Amino acid sequence: MHHSTILFDLDGTLTDPREGITRSIQHALAKLGIDEPDLTKLEPFIGPPLLQAFMEFYGFDEARAWEAVGHYRERFKTVGLYENLLFDGVLEMLEHLRGQGRTLYVATSKPSVFAREIARHFAFDHHFKVIYGSELDGTRTNKIELIAHLIAEERLDPEHTLMIGDRKHDLIGAHRNGLQAVGVGYGFGSHAELMAESPAYYYATLPALRAAFS
Q: How confident is the model over 16-67, as pLDDT tens digits?
A: 999 999 999 999 999 999 999 999 999 999 988 899 999 999 999 999 999 9
Sequence-separated (6 or more) residues with CB below 8 Å from residue 100: 213
Determine the Cα–Cα distance for residues 34 and 113; give it in Å rounded to an integer.
Answer: 28
Tell me the sheet residues that pair with 165.
183
Q: How confident is the model over 191-206, as pLDDT tens digits?
A: 999 999 999 999 999 9
Sequence-separated (6 or more) residues with CB below 8 Å from residue 198: 171, 175
Q: Tell me which DSSP letter residue 129 carries.
A: S
Q: How confident is the model over 81-132, as pLDDT tens digits?
A: 999 999 999 999 999 999 999 999 999 999 999 999 999 999 999 999 999 9
Tell me the sheet residues that pair with 132.
107
**Residue 140 φ then ψ, to 5°:** 65, 30
Residue 194 has what pLDDT? 98
pLDDT higher than 90, residue 175: yes
Contact 32, 64 (CB under 8 A): yes
**How large is the average pLDDT for residues 151-175?**
97
Determine the Cα–Cα distance for residues 10 and 123; give it in Å rounded to an integer.
Answer: 14
The catalytically annotated residue of 9, 11, 16, 170 is: 9
pLDDT higher than 90, residue 176: yes
Taking each helix axis as running N to C, give the angle between helix 50-58 and helix 62-76, from 0 to 180 degrees, rounded to the nearest 10.
120
Q: How confident is the model over 129-148, as pLDDT tens digits?
A: 999 999 999 999 999 999 99
Q: Any catalytic annotation for residue 170? A: no
Say which amino acid occupies 111: P
Neighbours of 133 (CB within 10 A): 21
Q: Where does the chain show beta strands of DSSP type E?
A: 5-8, 15-16, 85-86, 103-111, 130-134, 161-165, 180-184, 201-203
Residue 117 has what pLDDT? 97
Secondary structure element (H or E) that encloses residue 172, with its range: helix 168-176
pLDDT band at 70 (very low <50, low <70, confident <90, very high): very high
Residue 71 has what pLDDT? 98
State how beta strands 15-16 and 85-86 pair: antiparallel
Contact 107, 161 (CB under 8 A): no
pLDDT band at 1 (very low <50, low <70, confident <90, very high): confident
